[in-house]
């Protein structure tokens, strides 16, 4: 989120937390659910004495957390941004794949995760034109604690399907997806946006699943325009 913090913090108060088990946050063994992470964010807002309604932005797993924040702490929200994520739960096949990945990560470390996921995370043009971005993400994955990754993967595998709640999402919502995202596809996210009453849907070119990293200029402009509209109440 570095590029987003640099631009958006010129006008708004931007908070980019380390979710539980990642960055400087404490690692919890076992399972960390998306609802637990949402509760952590709620507690963080209390600790920072943030009383004004906020716009919550979540990418991929962060989108799952954002849905739970809306469900359990929605009174604190003024808007929602969903980036390269999905509303559906994992299929049985996806759950089995995550459990297998957990075994590998705990046994061999996060290098396995980097090798398995990096080819899926970025658009071909990013590999071709921005190897520094690939290297950055590779190092981020390697720096993650295996126990924290495993706990989050278990939480992702257990997350509920929130598709039926989408029509109840009655606040301004921006749905953003990378044009070449093969994980949360354009068609899937377009369908999700269509189910949300006040949703805007934007496809970001020249990007895959990691849109904020791959095309930060277009992504930031999209977010900024949305925030201005939310601020004006339009």
- If the chain, 234 residues long, is cut into consecutive pieces of 10 residues, what is the mean pLDDT of each piece? 96 96 92 97 97 97 98 97 97 95 93 92 96 95 95 97 96 97 97 96 97 97 97 82
User: What's the farthest any 2 CA atoms get from each other in the chain?
Assistant: 51
Nearest to 21, CA basis, from 9, 10, 30, 8 = 30
DSSP state of 9: T
pLDDT score for 50: 96
Residue 234, pLDDT score: 60
Beta bridge partners of 58: 82
Cα gap 3→58, rounded to integer Å? 15
pLDDT at position 39, please? Answer: 98
The reported pLDDT for the residue numbered 233 is: 84
Helix (H, G, I), strand (E, B) or coil at 10: coil
The token pair at 142 is: 């390697």
pLDDT of residue 29: 87
């Amino acid at each position: 989120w570095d590029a987003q913090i640099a631009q958006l913090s010129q006008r708004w108060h931007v908070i980019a937390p380390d979710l539980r088990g990642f960055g400087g946050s404490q690692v919890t063994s076992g399972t960390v659910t998306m609802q637990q992470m949402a509760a952590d964010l709620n507690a963080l807002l209390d600790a920072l004495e943030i009383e004004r309604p906020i716009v919550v932005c979540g990418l991929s797993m962060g989108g799952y957390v954002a849905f739970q924040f809306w469900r359990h702490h929605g009174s604190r929200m003024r808007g929602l941004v969903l980036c390269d994520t999905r509303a559906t739960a994992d299929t049985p096949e996806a759950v089995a794949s995550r459990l297998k990945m957990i075994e590998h990560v705990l046994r061999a470390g996060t290098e396995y995760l980097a090798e398995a996921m990096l080819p899926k995370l970025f658009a071909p043009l990013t590999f071709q034109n921005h190897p520094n971005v690939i290297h950055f993400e590779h190092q981020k994955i390697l720096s993650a604690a295996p126990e924290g990754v495993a706990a989050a993967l278990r939480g992702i595998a257990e997350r509920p399907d929130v598709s039926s709640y989408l029509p109840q999402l009655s606040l301004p919502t921006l749905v953003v997806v990378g044009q070449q995202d093969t994980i949360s596809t354009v068609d899937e996210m377009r369908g999700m946006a269509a189910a949300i009453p006040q949703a805007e849907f934007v496809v970001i070119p020249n990007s895959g699943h990691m849109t904020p990293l791959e095309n930060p200029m277009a992504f930031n402009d999209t977010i900024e325009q949305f925030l201005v509209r939310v601020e004006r109440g339009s």
